[in-house]
Amino acid sequence: MEITQLEAIISDQLSVFQKKEQGFERHVNFQKFTVSNQITVISGVRRSGKSTLLRQFSLKLHDFYYINFDDERLINFTVSDFNNLIILWKKKYNSKFILIDEIQNIINWERFVRRVHDEGYKLFITGSNAKLLSSELSTHLTGRYQKLELYPFSFKELLDYHKLSSSSTLTSIMKTKIFKLFDDFILHGGFPEYIKYKDDEYLKRIYEDIIYRDIITRFGIKEVKSFRELANYIFTNFTKEASYNALKDILGIKTSMSVRSYVGFLEESYLVFELFKYDFSLKKQYISDKKLYVIDNGIRNATAFYFSSDRGRLLENLVYIELKRRGVNLFYFKDKSECDFLIQNKNTITQAIQVTQRIDHSNEKREFEGILNSFERLKIKDGLILTENQDETRIINSKKIIIRPIWKWLLDKE
């Protein structure tokens, strides 16, 4: 790029960035990431608030350099232009902090990041492609970075945004407000801009931007119709088990390898997640059917058919995303019966979780058997059933199973 053009762009970008609203401060340990000299990598789905979080980090620094590569004016920027970028930054002032938005748009970015980090700079970088960031980081930046995955608002963040207390001593008025917000959260999710403006069309636009800009265009997908149908099918049938072969046959896609690639692209963009079935054999884990979840209930309901019977699946998806947000290792369990989630800690399964709207005579046997079967097979001692409103403890076959409202569990410390 011409150096004068680059200078004008970074000056313009910095001015816009510094005028950007701070927004609602996310529940992030800012000190942990600013004190450490490691590269801070902020990744997550498009429009989850990564740039706003970057702005919040900038307010905790004395000075910084900034560039955003999600800018059509930088379409010709290559790794060889980074030297000129450093020269232009140093021309104005000296700082040890570098903030870079959407870095994955530049091929071989990781070589520049490694070099300047070795020179003593502290970097904060954002990206919207999980695999690209992970593969390059693990290959070239091992031991030099700490990762911060940002999701749409959690329920706890939603309450804080609306200035509602989540203390244990709640008045009936406060509980009514919390229940109303929880019901809205189940249906509409937590994308920051939706929470602010309540625009369903905005959620549809996020979906279309990810499908076209982040996936179809970036990966050069030629069978656009088949890919879109697959994405729509997953969003309609979220939380259900599926195999690549079954999806191939249902949607008429040529090969199961194509399905696998398409699902991988959706995962890389943080739009869809695969959950593996737990098995002592790693090979069986990989070849077993997967359960598919989506990034946010709101974007799901804005883009796929919604039926009242979907509420239980919306609750399950909501719990899955919260568990992802808490950074736990997850599986589902299926043997003589099923259990929605198994939590793994240090290669040991420590907890079994079921999610259902309610426990009653129609599903009691099934829900308890799923947990009790996992107790028997995996020697687990901690069982939890999450429902909309029930709060009690059951002793079954000398095993204690806690039944807890999802909204309360969402407000627990991680």
Domains of the chain: 3-150 (3.40.50.300), 153-307 (1.10.10), 328-414 (no CATH)
More confident residue, 85 or 107: 85
Mean pLDDT of 68-82: 96
Closest CA to 378 of 389, 370, 386, 387: 370
pLDDT of residue 405: 97
- Between helix 172-188 and helix 311-325 the angle, nearest 10°, is 90
Spatial separation of the C-alpha atoms in residues 116 and 65, rounded to whole Å: 12
pLDDT of residue 139: 77
Residue reference for tokens 């008429």: 252
pLDDT of residue 413: 74
Mean pLDDT of 289-314: 94
Q: How confident is the model at residue 75 (pLDDT cuts 50, 70, 90)?
A: very high
The model's pTM is 0.95
Mean pLDDT of 40-46: 94
Cα dihedral value 373, 378, 382, 388, nearest 10: -50
pLDDT of residue 281: 86
Residue 164: exposed, middle, or buried by beta-carbon count in 10 A (0-12, 13-18, 19+)?
middle
Residue reference for tokens 């929470």: 195
Mean pLDDT of 295-299: 98
- The answer to whether residue 167 scores a pLDDT higher than 80 is no
Q: What is the pLDDT of residues 215-230, one digit of tens each?
A: 999 899 999 999 999 9
- The answer to whether residue 13 scores a pLDDT higher than 90 is yes
Mean pLDDT of 292-313: 93
Q: What is the pLDDT of residues 115-158, one digit of tens each?
A: 999 999 999 999 888 766 676 677 778 889 999 999 999 999 99
